[in-house]
Amino acid sequence: MTPRVHLERDGEIAVIMIDNPPINAGSAAVRQGLMAAIETLRSDDTLEGAVLIGAGNTFIAGSDLREFGQPLTEPQLPSVIVAIEACGKPVVAALQGAALGGGFELALGCDARVAAPGTVVGLPEVTLGIIPGAGGTQRLPRIVGIPRAIRMICSGERVPAAAALEAGLVDQIAAGDLRSAAVAHARQLKGKKQRVRERVVPSAQSAEVDEATSAALKAGKRRPAVQAAIDAIKATAHVGFDDGLADERAVFQRLRISREAFALRHQFFAERDSAKHPSLGEATPRAVEHVAVIGAGTMGSGIAIAVLDAGYRVLLLEQDAAALERGAQRIHAHYATRVQGGKLGASAGATCEARLKTSLDWAELAQADLVIEAVFEELGVKQQVFQRIDAVARPGAVLASNTSYLDLDAIAAATSRPQDVIGLHFFSPANVMKLMEVVRGQASAPDALATGLALGKRLKKLPVLTGNAFGFIGNRLYAAYRRQCEFMVEEGAWPEQVDAALQAFGFAMGPFAVADLSGLDIAWRMRQAQAATRDPQARYVHIPDRLCEAGRLGRKTGAGYYGYPEGSKGPQVDEAVHELIAFCRAEKGVVPRSLSDDEIVRRVLLAIVNEAALLLAEGVAERATDVDVVLVNGYGFPRWEGGPVFWARERGAAALQDDMLWLAGLCGPGFVAGDLHHLLTTEN
Ligand code: NAD
């Protein structure tokens, strides 16, 4: 095993360097190295204290999560921390970059913490379905009190250095060189131990504790480990430190092999790898500093905000002066609200806005390194726009379309440089949604695609590479999902039952409430356009068409799958919809039957999994795990379920084949079965 910890000497102070690139993740080798170094510190009489520091530009930014699914090797982190506490000499943690999870627990086990400006500290374990397992729940409340510990651990908050200093989480911010500051701090502490374990915890009985608990449970209803974390934190008030540590470890050990933790780790790795695509080879992203956005509507202004937030200069271009003004106003109002709400400093807001330029002059496009088109969803309009871009954009600029459904190759064909054309499919609201599809056209150059993926990362989004097919990955999966829900309504379930069952499973919203929110008319127009080419044998549910024909286009018309009478807070069950559905069923001779919530959820999952298998076989999705990233980050699929592919793999080939035969029978003619074997066995 390569040594991951080195011990250097600075006079009588040992400098213990953790060197496990790229993020100095805690691992068996790191723990062994730390244990050996602490033993040297303890037994060497010429050493009077130590500094723990990370090589490179970070402390320990997390743990090697792959270890969490297996039996943990010795020494485990709590033993390393016990050794630090028992060594008889002061140990100072020198923090930079990120000190997260086990890394921050290690720091809390030291006698003091010195941080470089720009450091973030935190215990984000609950976002991975576990709780801190090396004393985090026991030491943190001894520093910040129970309410703040609940807030911090349950949300996985990352606390910046200045706030950490104020809260007492770090003792000093290093003005100059971190290592020297930490060594000086260790010298000051010579002969002293100041262990966090000896501090007293304020009471768990207070209105503030109750408030923090209920807020954490409310916000964390989607995080299975929240209650366990709260219990462990509150125990500090009445359980001795060592018993508290033992109880915390037992809960950690139980949760780390729970289903949720496996699912969340799966999602973590799928997201981490989403922007890395072996099929792009060594392609390096093109340099981008100046971005032009064409179209200042809903998407264009949202995209402009996302790009401004990431520090780019932005040119917002329109054909219509009034639309441009509305877009500029929307962007301004957005920053004003964030500044007023305290979410953004006034000067940071002003800096973002100062990087924006609005224009009606196409010649200005010549400055852009990347052009993102977000005009009306009509092929002719987009082709014309791309011709105009082609005429002025500089050679090598990446030209991107935000189309949701149109053929990217047909758009690229309007230019003399299809190799520079890619799709960048943002989701609405574009400055909020994490998912971004990067669409590969037939001629898209690898470095143009790499530019799209790099942009996504810089925008702090999750970019997923997709082939150029109707609906790409996300909207194709969602169409299969919605179609299945419509089948179930036709067979006997009411929309509200389908929505409730899927929400209980964990979806952020049910599909019919979502349809009402986004409007039923877009899909209606699309069905009308596709009517001539539809497979006449395939099952077709008329209910959505009938709703539209009745003027029920969703929330904007006050009626859709639900009613929205004046003054109502949300969707209301509407008898008129039941009657319309009953009429449609009778028209087809369907005798309604009752469907269980379990059937509803299972059919939705199977329909998505089947579509995912088709997307993989067609090469639209390159990796099965990308499907999970798309569903969780773009369509409200519950993260702690890991995603449909995780679910399918967990279910196993035999059960899934049986399930799929059952689904095919229920769906009737037109059901196209995907290759499940490939989906289940492909490496990613
Ligand atoms: P929108 O109608 O709100 O905005 C379109 C804007 O483009 C308008 O301001 C219009 O003036 C401008 N425009 C039209 N033709 C133009 C031209 N020739 N030159 C310059 N500007 C022109 O539409 P939107 O909802 O923002 O959608 C834009 C694109 O984004 C569409 O392709 C759509 O499919 C896609 N998209 C929309 C969503 C969504 O939820 N709205 C989500 C993902 C992708």
Q: Quick one: pLDDT at residue 220?
A: 80
Ligand 1 pocket, residue 375 CB under 6 Å: yes
DSSP per-residue string spanning 571-582:
-B--HHHHHHHH
CA-nearest residue, atom 39 of ligand 1: 428
What structural domains does the chain harbor?
5-262 (3.90.226.10), 287-468 (3.40.50.720), 475-680 (1.10.1040.50)
Query: Cα of 294 to ligand 1 centre, how many Å?
Result: 9
Ligand 1 atom showing the smallest separation from residue 384 Cα: 18
Among candidate residues 48, 125, 248, 318, the one labeled active-site is 125
3-state SS track over 593-631:
CCCCHHHHHHHHHHHHHHHHHHHHHCCCECCHHHHHHHH
3-state SS track over 171-196:
CEECCCCHHHHHHHHHHHCCCCCCCH
Ligand 1 pocket, residue 297 CB under 6 Å: yes
Q: Quick one: pLDDT at residue 619?
A: 94
Are 296 and 316 a contacting pair, CB within 8 Å? yes
Is 684 a residue whose pLDDT tops 80?
A: no
The pLDDT tens digits for 15-34 are 999 999 999 999 999 999 99
The pLDDT tens digits for 176-190 are 999 999 999 999 999
Q: Quick one: pLDDT at residue 605?
A: 98
Average pLDDT over the chain reads 95
**Alpha-carbon span 682 to 684, nearest angstrom:** 6
* β-pair type (159-160, 120-122): antiparallel
Q: Quick one: pLDDT at residue 94?
A: 98
Among candidate residues 48, 85, 105, 490, the one labeled active-site is 105
The pLDDT tens digits for 357-403 are 999 999 999 999 999 999 999 999 999 999 999 999 999 999 999 99
DSSP per-residue string spanning 493-544:
--HHHHHHHHHHHT-SS-HHHHHHHH-SHHHHHHHHHHGGGS-TTS----HH
**Alpha-carbon span 581 to 586, nearest angstrom:** 9
Is 477 a residue whose pLDDT tops 80?
A: yes
CA-nearest residue, atom 13 of ligand 1: 375
Q: Quick one: pLDDT at residue 670?
A: 85
| Residue 332 DSSP SS3 | helix
Ligand 1 pocket, residue 325 CB under 6 Å: no
Ligand 1 atom showing the smallest separation from residue 375 Cα: 7
Q: Quick one: pLDDT at residue 171?
A: 98
Query: Cα of 382 to ligand 1 centre, how many Å?
Result: 10
Query: Cα of 296 to ligand 1 centre, how many Å?
Result: 7
Give the DSSP letter of residue 234.
Answer: H
Ligand 1 atom showing the smallest separation from residue 518 Cα: 40
Pocket of ligand 1, candidates 293, 294, 298, 434: which has the most ligand atoms within 8 Å of its Cβ, to mutate? 298
Beta bridge partners of 316: 293, 358
Amino acid in the structure at residue 253: Q
Query: Cα of 45 to ligand 1 centre, how many Å?
Result: 72
Ligand 1 pocket, residue 337 CB under 6 Å: no
Ligand 1 pocket, residue 296 CB under 6 Å: yes
Closest C-alpha to 400, from 380, 375, 378:
375
pLDDT band for 1, please (50, 70, 90 cuts): low
Beta bridge partners of 437: 425, 464
Is 59 a residue whose pLDDT tops 70?
A: yes
Amino acid in the structure at residue 447: D
Q: Which of 263-267, 320-324, 541-545, 668-672 has the lowest mean pLDDT?
A: 668-672
**Alpha-carbon span 303 to 648, nearest angstrom:** 34
**Alpha-carbon span 39 to 382, nearest angstrom:** 68
Q: Can 105 be counted among the known catalytic residues?
A: yes
The pLDDT tens digits for 200-259 are 987 778 999 999 999 999 988 767 799 999 999 999 999 999 999 999 999 999 999 999
Total-model pTM: 0.91
Q: Quick one: pLDDT at residue 203?
A: 78
Q: Quick one: pLDDT at residue 395?
A: 97
The average pLDDT across 279-292 equals 95
Query: Cα of 378 to ligand 1 centre, how many Å?
Result: 9
Are 95 and 59 a contacting pair, CB within 8 Å? yes
Contacts of 512 by beta carbon, 8 Å cutoff, 6+ apart: 485, 495, 496, 498, 499, 560, 561, 562
Ligand 1 pocket, residue 381 CB under 6 Å: yes
Ligand 1 pocket, residue 300 CB under 6 Å: yes
Ligand 1 atom showing the smallest separation from residue 300 Cα: 26
**Alpha-carbon span 662 to 484, nearest angstrom:** 13
Is 469 a residue whose pLDDT tops 90?
A: yes
The percent of residues in the chain predicted with pLDDT above 70, rounded, is 100
Contacts of 175 by beta carbon, 8 Å cutoff, 6+ apart: 181
Ligand 1 atom showing the smallest separation from residue 381 Cα: 18
The average pLDDT across 151-173 equals 97
DSSP per-residue string spanning 445-482:
-HHHHHHHHHHHHHTT-EEEEEES-TTTTHHHHHHHHH
pLDDT band for 67, please (50, 70, 90 cuts): confident
3-state SS track over 20-64:
CCCCCCECHHHHHHHHHHHHHHHHCCCCCEEEEEECCCCCCCCEC
Ligand 1 pocket, residue 429 CB under 6 Å: no
- Residues constituting the chain: 684
Pocket of ligand 1, candidates 364, 365, 375, 472: which has the most ligand atoms within 8 Å of its Cβ, to mutate? 375
Ligand 1 atom showing the smallest separation from residue 426 Cα: 43
Are 510 and 498 a contacting pair, CB within 8 Å? yes
Are 156 and 100 a contacting pair, CB within 8 Å? no
CA-nearest residue, atom 37 of ligand 1: 299
Report the sign of the C-alpha dihedral through residues 545, 546, 551, 556, in that order: negative
DSSP per-residue string spanning 111-154:
SEEEE-TT-EEE--GGGGT----SSHHHHHHHHH-HHHHHHHHH
Predicted complex: ipTM over 0.85 = yes
Q: Can 157 be counted among the known catalytic residues?
A: no
Closest C-alpha to 646, from 276, 264, 275, 274:
264
The pLDDT tens digits for 114-126 are 999 999 999 999 9
The pLDDT tens digits for 408-432 are 999 999 999 999 999 999 999 999 9
Closest C-alpha to 304, from 426, 191, 190:
426
